[in-house]
Amino acid sequence: MLKRCNKSNKHAVFFDLDGTLIDSEPITEQVVANWLKKKQHPIVNIPSESLHGITWYEIAKKLQELKIEIDPALVATELENDYFKISIKNVPKLLRGARNAFREAALHGCTAIVTGSSERFVANFLTHENLINECRFFICSEYYSESKPDPEPYITAARYANCTPKDCLVFEDSLSGVQSALQAGMRVVAVGSKETPQKKLAHLAISNFEELHSDFFSNWFKGQLVFDSQSINLKFFS
């Protein structure tokens, strides 16, 4: 669902999907383990964090680095098919406060999803969770060539939101996602219960969306959230 906003937006909010809105990253890890087992390749200790926030093509390239002779494009399709089938049977749950946060953001302004997942997976998510009307558009793996941590996914989102990058606020859980948004020149909130390197890089770190102030999104879209080089000042100004 790639639909350019017709009018200029002063501010926008972008959410990553996997690991940020929904608890789907364990499925990613399961899919990779299943693929290795199917190919009778020893299950190697691939750091789970390295599989998060990137496209299936980039994951396939990581498998290629294990000295397995594959066509990354074909393997990416195979992995995504397996992922989609599993997620249909075992729908990933929304993370704490995610639905309310997404709806609250959409209530006040341009809100979109920027993800490494496929178009059909995002469309299925929005339909299943009844969030289609709230999502202005989404940027998925089919819509860009360079995966996170490259800034291209978020730069593409800013272009379609018709908003300058510095006025875009991003919610991300993965290191690659946080790096992508920062390189695009955006404000970043890292989401996750664990202490991670990405939390130190982001402007703000939260364990879950319920930690956000009740006026967080309204203040963002009014231009009343103050940022410095390191953090978001949560003492709003009027």
pLDDT at 229: 55
Question: Is the same domain home to 168 and 207?
Answer: yes
106 with 54, same domain? no
Whether 110 and 40 share a structural domain: no
Last residue of a domain, one of 89, 113, 130: 89
Q: Last residue of some domain: 89, 110, 137?
A: 89
Domain annotation covers residue 157? yes
pLDDT at 236: 40
Is residue 1 in a domain? no
pLDDT at 50: 85
Q: Is residue 166 domain-shared with residue 71, that is, in the same domain?
A: no
Distance, CA of 80 to chain centre: 16
Q: Is the CB of residue 183 less than 8 Å from the CB of residue 209?
A: no
**Are 104 and 84 found together in one domain?**
no
Q: 72, 89, 106 — which closes off a domain?
A: 89
Residue 159 belongs to a domain:
yes
122 and 197 belong to one structural domain: yes
pLDDT recorded at residue 7: 57
If one counts the domains in the chain, the total is: 2
Same domain flag for 148 and 196 = yes
- 4 in a structural domain: no
Amino acid at 4: R
The rounded distance, in Å, linking the Cα atoms of 191 and 194 is 9
Each residue's pLDDT expressed in tens, for the chain with a length of 238 residues: 555 555 558 999 999 999 999 999 999 999 999 998 888 776 666 777 888 999 999 999 998 888 778 999 999 999 999 999 999 999 999 999 999 999 999 999 999 999 999 999 999 999 999 999 999 999 999 999 999 999 999 999 999 999 999 999 999 999 999 999 999 999 999 999 888 999 999 999 999 999 999 999 999 999 998 776 555 554 443 3
Residue 79 and residue 196 in one domain: no
- Which of 208, 194, 219, 213 has its CA nearest to residue 94? 208
Tell me the DSSP string of the chain: -----SS--S-EEEE--BTTTB--HHHHHHHHHHHHHHTT-------GGGGTTS-HHHHHHHHHTTT----HHHHHHHHHHHHHHHHHHSPPPBPTTHHHHHHHHHHHSEEEEE-SS-HHHHHHHHHHTT-TTT-SEEE-GGG-SS-TTSSHHHHHHHHHHT--GGGEEEEE-SHHHHHHHHHTT-EEEEE-SS--HHHHHSSEEESSGGGS-TTHHHHHHTT--EE-SS-EE-S---
Q: Looking at residue 4, what is its pLDDT? A: 54
On whether residue 5 sits in a domain, the answer given is no
Q: Note whether residue 169 is domain-resident.
A: yes
Whether residue 161 sits in one domain with residue 106: yes
> For residue 30, what are the domain limits?
25-89
In a domain, 166, yes or no: yes
Residues 81 and 138 in one domain: no
Residues 85 and 135 in one domain: no
Residues 107 and 149 in one domain: yes
Distances (CA, A) of 136 to 113, 195, 198: 9, 31, 27
